[in-house]
Structure 1
Amino acid sequence: MIKDRGKIKWGAAFMLPEMVASHNKVDWDYKKVEKSILDEHLLEEINQSICSAMEYNQDLVFTLYENGEFQLLTGKVHYIDQIRYELRILDKFNEIHKVRLSDIVKVILNCDGK
């Protein structure tokens, strides 16, 4: 007796590209999160961490909110642009990243040794 999966094995072959795209979009939207609102105390801690790290030339780990997700960026604060409200962060590959102050959610001191 031959055991066959029947119609199940052909199910994925007949999916339309539009169906796949809409399924991926729904899955992408489901994974998005809302940005939390920072209170004054947390903003002051972020400010103190940035100022201290600039003074002692230390690496920081930034948690950034971009397009519904959180991303990590590690580096040293190279410059604070007070007109555009952004930081310029120099990472370990000597690349400069421009980060808006409104995108920063959390800042901690990098304790990896370097």
Structure 2
Amino acid sequence: MNHDRGMKKWRAFASMPEQYIGLKEIINKQSEVAQPVLTEEQMEHANFTLIEALHTNKQVYLTYYKQGQCTTETGFIQFVDSLGDLFIFIDDVFELKNKVRLSELIDVCLA
């Protein structure tokens, strides 16, 4: 009698999950970008926009640097601490609180 191995014969490399983890790390490393450096004027503009959005409760578009990637999200500013280098915003999609350092902020504009 002949027994067919079924899908096992097509899973030759799936027996090494470490390989997939390593490949994913390599791909993520290649897609990393350097954190942009903002001028003093750009930082002031971002700070004023954050404070305006906080007081008027307007929606903002935020672009920030996190783990080698530039991320853009929309949300509402809940808290700004200039001395503590921190702001908190609630994103539109999942309505989650996100803490971001002001030094990681790249751009902010009112929606």
Into which bin does the TM-score normalised by the smaller protein fall?
0.7 to 0.9
Provide the residue aligned with 2:99 in structure 1: 98
Give the deviation of 1:12 after TM superposition.
7.2
Q: Which runs of 5+ in 1 are unaligned?
A: 1-9
Give the deviation of 1:105 after TM superposition.
0.8
Structure 2 letter corresponding to 1:100: R
Contact 2:59/2:110 (CA < 8 Å) preserved in 1? yes
Q: Quick check: 1:24 aligned with 2:41? A: no
- Measured in 2, the distance between the counterparts of 1:75 and 1:14 equals 42
Contact 2:82/2:102 (CA < 8 Å) preserved in 1? no
SS in 1 for 2:51: helix
Change (3 A) 1:49 1:14: closer
The CA deviation string for residues 40-87 of structure 1, in whole angstroms up to 9 with x for no partner, is 111111012112222322111111111001222322221222442211
After TM superposition, list the pairs within 5 Å mapping 1:4-83 onto structure 2.
13-14=12-13, 16-83=16-83
Identity of aligned residues (%): 26
Q: Which runs of 5+ in 2 are unaligned?
A: 1-8
Contact 2:51/2:80 (CA < 8 Å) preserved in 1? no
- Measured in 1, the distance between the counterparts of 2:13 and 2:55 equals 61
Provide the residue aligned with 2:110 in structure 1: 109
SS in 2 for 1:62: strand
* TM, length-normalised to structure 2: 0.73
Give the number of aligned pairs: 101
Change (3 A) 1:20 1:94: closer
